[in-house]
Amino acid sequence: MNRQKCTAIFHRLQAANPNPRTELRYRTSFELLIAVMLSAQATDRSVNKATERLFGVAHTPETMLALGEQRLREYIQTIGLFNSKARNIMETCRILVQVHNGRVPDKRDDLESLPGVGRKTANVILNTAFGQPTLAVDTHIFRVANRTGLASGRTPRQVEDKLMRRIPKQYLQDAHHWLILHGRYICTARKPRCAECVLYDLCEFAGKAANAKN
């Protein structure tokens, strides 16, 4: 994909949604970290339902540690993999208190050293909490990038690296949210809503589908 088409794609996404935001509910960088850790293999809706209650009683590393792992499990038991997530959250809270003075670090290496925090989660925190131009390639972004032709790749890291090189600088800060929301509601996995897509005439997937009908 050439730079002109790439720029046009993000210009349209920006026009359709000037102020994109994560659908996870949070008030602080710590709450965002916990919500993102819980969101692996879970919907934002299910995470929000659990954290609404959880953050009412534990919204800092210190209060989460005071809550204890067993009670934490009770708050998040509706979320997949809740046992391992509870263990990781408790150990992460211990590290935040002991190493980072109870604060969420704003450096990639520090974030990825936390239990249960990989590159994708770190990218979300760096972008959403600290305003850094990073891209967390989840299944939605992976699908949209490959379908549209923005960045083809066999792995999330391949797609991330290509997107980081190709997306114009002025769009990079919000690109993560635009692509996720587009994949979640328009460019869906099974039945993409191409007729409603603002990128239809710029998309390689749509172009191939149209040629196949002719």
Name the CATH topology of 29-129. Endonuclease III; domain 1 (1.10.340)
pLDDT over threshold 90, residue 209: no
Catalytic residue among 85, 106, 110, 138: 138
For the entire predicted model, the pTM comes to 0.91
pLDDT over threshold 80, residue 186: yes
Catalytic residue among 120, 161, 162, 213: 120
Q: Of 103-107, 119-123, 209-213, give the lowest mean pLDDT range.
A: 209-213
Q: Do domains 3-20+135-213 and 29-129 have the same CATH topology?
A: no
* CATH 1.10.1670.10 is held by the domain 3-20+135-213: yes
Domain boundaries, the chain: 3-20+135-213, 29-129
Share of the chain above pLDDT 70, in %: 96
Give the tens place of pLDDT for each residue, 77-110: 999 999 999 999 999 999 999 999 999 999 999 9
Question: Is position 107 annotated as part of the catalytic site?
Answer: no
Share of the chain above pLDDT 90, in %: 93
Distance CA(43)–CA(182), nearest Å, equals: 16
Question: Is position 5 annotated as part of the catalytic site?
Answer: no
